[in-house]
Amino acid sequence: MKSDFVHRDLQLDYSFFKTTGKITAILGARRVGKSVFLRQIFHDTAAAPEELITIDFSEFPWMEFSADDFEKLWQAAQEIGCGSTPLCLFDEIQNCGEFAPGLRFLQNRGARIFLTGSNAEIFTGALAASLRGKLLTYTLYPLSFVEFLRFRNTEFPSVLSTNDRARRRVLLEEYLTWGGFPEVVLAEREELKRNLLDSYWDIMLFRDIVERHAVKNVEVLEKLLVRILLSFTREFSVHKWFNDLKSQGYRVSKDSMYEFVNYFEQAMFVHILSNAASAAGSRKIYLIDNGLYNRVKDRPDMGKLFENLCFLDLLRAGQDTTRFFRTDQYEVDFVTDRELLQVTVELHEQNRVREETPLVEVGRLFPGHSQRILTMDTY
């Protein structure tokens, strides 16, 4: 069957689901392609159209949907002939109040349930306890470079000619600059790319943070987000940001500033790394997508963008416990559970010692970890 979407590389274990009947949740920031990925699930499960139950809970008609309505949904599905094991695709489930009892109700009756959500915290606390043992979670990120090339209908041979290498470098720089949101990748004009990214800024900021958390001090929230975007890949200090805003006359508490940063992390707008050199050490901030940097900078900083890309690749590879290492003497960009990684756009005689020495010295503290330097030429 020919698909009407470009295939994403996120792998789901459908055979395990079939055996266990687990609910499968696809989490991810706004506009990363979760809704389209549900179509990929429908395609990959080879379900018949009449078996499908699909609801987008971000649409107005479903805003008042409650836990009790899941029973009515099941009854209606049986009446129209969806079968004993219908395929339920629920988009943006976080908009549906107390959804856990309803999902358990459908699961207990044999429904196959796949859902998406735009908030990393929707399956925590009491809700996590309610669904414990019944749920598998996956994260969908913006397009990887491999997916970017697929969306652009571009392939390269395993052995690159000089022309291939130059063309690939141009595409990599475009990807680094504008990021991997699918709509932005498919947009041909820079003006349209920028307009799309501006709209994503508004959606993430107002729908996922202002509305969800009833934030009143929107002006400070926006000022804070600009500081986050300007600080990505670097160590940051909420205390310093608080003092800066306070000195400019803005009224906000330090606790609120910490809450706002947490909101951005929950909305999967940013990821925060801790310092492996100290349990109470500094932290670094990374963006969910390079394209967001265009909101505050017209001229790309390829070093920062490449480092952010390498971190996102680690997340896609399941390295979600990645940290960095920094002391007064040495700094290593990423420490995973098995590797020490240093990131630089280019490696040459002028910077080789600076990049290699921290790997060697810090490597003594992590016996068994391999060491690697990532560059754009070897990416």
- As a whole number of angstroms, the distance between CA 122 and CA 266 comes to 9
Q: 171-374: what fold?
A: Arc Repressor Mutant, subunit A (1.10.10)
DSSP structural state of residue 8: P
What pTM does this model have?
A: 0.93
- What pLDDT sits at residue 17? 87
The alpha carbon of 116 is separated from its chain's Cα centroid by a whole number of angstroms, namely 13
**For the domain bounded by 14-139, which CATH number is listed?**
3.40.50.300
Sheet hosting strand 270-274, strand order edge to edge: 235-236, 283-287, 270-274
- What pLDDT sits at residue 299? 80
Q: Look at residue 327 and give its three-state secondary structure.
A: coil
Q: Could you identify the residue written with the tokens 């490449």?
A: 306
Domain limits of the chain?
Answer: 14-139, 171-374
Phi, psi of 324 (to 5 degrees): -115, 170
- As a whole number of angstroms, the distance between CA 117 and CA 122 comes to 8
Residues in the chain, overall count:
379
What are the tokens at 251? 């009224």
Q: List the chain residues with pLDDT less than 70.
A: 1-3, 124-128
- As a whole number of angstroms, the distance between CA 192 and CA 253 comes to 38
